[in-house]
A and B are shown apart, each in its own frame.
Chain A
Amino acid sequence: MDVLTDNFSTYGEGFLGTVELTVFASLLALALGFVMASFRVAPVGSLRAFGAAWVAVLRNTPLTLLFFAVLLGLPRFGLVLPFKVFAVLALGCYTSAFICEALRSGINTVPKGQGEAARSLGMTFGQTLSQVVLPQAFRSVIPPVGSTLIALAKNSAIAGAFSVTELLGTYKTLSELGYDIIWTFLWIALGYLIITLTISAVFTVLEKRWGVAR
């Protein structure tokens, strides 16, 4: 117990670091994933190929390799940013591939007849998309997107090993101060449990409110 009360600020900093990483990387991943998903369903061949390549490569890249390449590689091209921004970039790009697939399969679950009916009512492409297809797709992508964002929160632990302030990284400071290592890790584990269970609670509520009846 002492470990937590004595080092509340260290833990707090780490916890907030993880939350910050998770939030910003999630926003990037959702935005980029949306763009890539729209590429993948576009009627233009080269955009489809680009989206497919993006997904195939990033889904099969070990995240450590991506962190390694982004955090240590991009500075060689003269791009010098804080490590935190690089970490958000790596996490966001990696997760965007999974978000893209979730969104794409969500769009594919909307029956063809829905679009045909909308068009025969004289709706434009924008109207069909925003009034008919996306609302229905949204309902079926809640669980996979939630699951992906939980994975993102957990993956953010890797950033700690690349000297970004986050929860897992606090163990180093504390073990140097000579605190009991097992308790240190227990509190870290609790921190991650809080984050992942919060995300999953949020998505369970979303799913209850808007999800497809199963």
Chain B
Amino acid sequence: MTATAPADEATALYDIPGPRTRRRHRLYGVLSTAVLLGLLAWILYLLFDTDQFTHTKWTPFQYEGIQELLLRGLGNTLKAFAVAAVLSLALGALLATGRLSDHRPVRWLAALFVEFFRAMPVLVMIFFVFVALKVQPLPALVAGLTLYNGSVLAEVFRSGVNSVERGQREAAYALGMRKTQVMSYVLVPQAVRAMLPAIISQLVVALKDTSLGYLITYEEFLHAGKLIASNLDYDLPFIPVVMVISPIYIGMCMLLSWFAYWVSKRQRRSPKTEAVDVAPAEPGTLLPGGYPPGPPPHRGAQ
């Protein structure tokens, strides 16, 4: 999130500014800062004007019961995330194996499965499992997240394996390795290293999507917030609840995104990824057919 000036790293858009341009830019900078500060002040004014900072609205957060409620919600969110992450990685590996199989029917079946679940909204699957199969909220949420993220991860794994330099596979076969050996000793380790940033970014998507559990009354973080927010005793502290919940939620996701970015920077320097392009820290693409991971588009600061 750093916004360091890309002065030395000029884009195609601008020349390196001279003294007059720099003065002009400084003027724009002052003006835009003033506008942004004005916007911030207006939001603060709105918050105070609609009495969001009254004592009654913020008292609930002092009570242990309510803190426990929030923590339990957070715990449930993390539980759903952990289970869904592990299962989707497993399903992704399974489906990728299917898509890379030598047997045509297996390949087609896996492709059909992957393409169908990638094209479906997660929420449709979650509701289907919850309503039609009459399952408890947690398994329904986990099943939906697993089907979707597993399918996307399968494509990530597959494009990772396919993006390893051809010579690696050829050399391994030339040494007399069988397909399973080529995969497990040569291609998959390099593919996973290269795809690690994309895999973690997909896990960020899974973490964000655990909040869909709120819609099927799974008692997760947002659900706990909703319970507090609809309490008349505290004058319906909706905005305070949002102000408490969103930094925690967004913070968790940012931490994981930042980790993906850090991993991608690290892997790009690693000598172990020389035979493969390291994917940028972005979740898998959704266009059917899947594009190969191109050269890293993030050259500047992220």
Contacts and interface: CB of A to CB of B under 8 A. Distances in A.
Contacts of A196: 119, 286
Interface string A47-79: 111101100110111111100110011001110
B291 interface: yes
B254 A60 contact: yes
A115 B286 contact: no
Contacts of A128: 12-13
A108 interface: yes
A188 B254 CA distance: 33
B32 A44 contact: yes
A209 interface: no
A65 B132 contact: no
Given A45-B29, A64-B214, A107-B12, A158 B123 contact: yes
A27 interface: no
B239 interface: yes
Contacts of B253: 60-62
Interface string B221-236: 0100110010000000
A7 interface: no
Interface stretch (B62-70, B172-180, B294-302): B294-302
A181 B10 CA distance: 58
Interface in A188-212: 188-189, 192-193, 196-197, 200, 203-204
B150 to A, nearest CB: 16
B38 to A, nearest CB: 12
Interface in A121-161: 125, 128-129, 132-133, 143-144, 146-147, 150-151, 154-158, 160-161
Interface centre among B3, B120, B239 (most CB of A within 10 A): B3
Contact of B297 (A105, A113, A146, A151): A105
A133 B12 contact: yes
B157 interface: no
Contacts of B245: 65
B179 to A, nearest CB: 27
Contact of B11 (A107, A125, A144, A181): A107
A109 B25 contact: no
Interface residues of B, number: 66
A111 interface: yes
A43 B14 contact: yes
B270 interface: no
A119 B246 contact: no
Contact of A46 (B32, B225, B257): B32
B1 A50 contact: no
A65 B229 CA distance: 13
A63 B250 CA distance: 11
Interface stretch (B98-106, B160-168, B204-212, B271-279): B204-212
Contacts of B242: 68-69, 73
A28 B210 CA distance: 26
B286 A151 contact: yes
Contact of A143 (B207, B249, B285): B285
A173 interface: no
B126 to A, nearest CB: 10
B121 A61 contact: no
Given A53-B1, A108-B297, A181-B132, A119 B15 contact: yes
B249 A147 contact: no
B56 to A, nearest CB: 15
A204 B208 CA distance: 28
Contact of A64 (B50, B222, B292): B222
B11 A41 contact: yes
A167 B250 CA distance: 29
A150 B208 contact: no
A214 B291 CA distance: 10
A110 B33 CA distance: 29
Nearest to B204: A60
B82 to A, nearest CB: 16
A180 B26 CA distance: 65
Given A60-B253, A76-B239, A110-B12, A181 B131 contact: yes
A155 B208 contact: no
Given A52-B3, A112-B11, A150-B119, 6 more contacts: A43-B21, A57-B250, A68-B225, A68-B226, A147-B286, A204-B287
Interface of B: 1-3, 5, 10-15, 17, 21, 25, 28-29, 32-33, 36, 46, 50, 52, 116, 119-124, 127-128, 131-132, 204, 207-212, 214-215, 222, 225-226, 229, 238-239, 242, 245-246, 249-250, 253-254, 257, 285-289, 291-292, 297-300
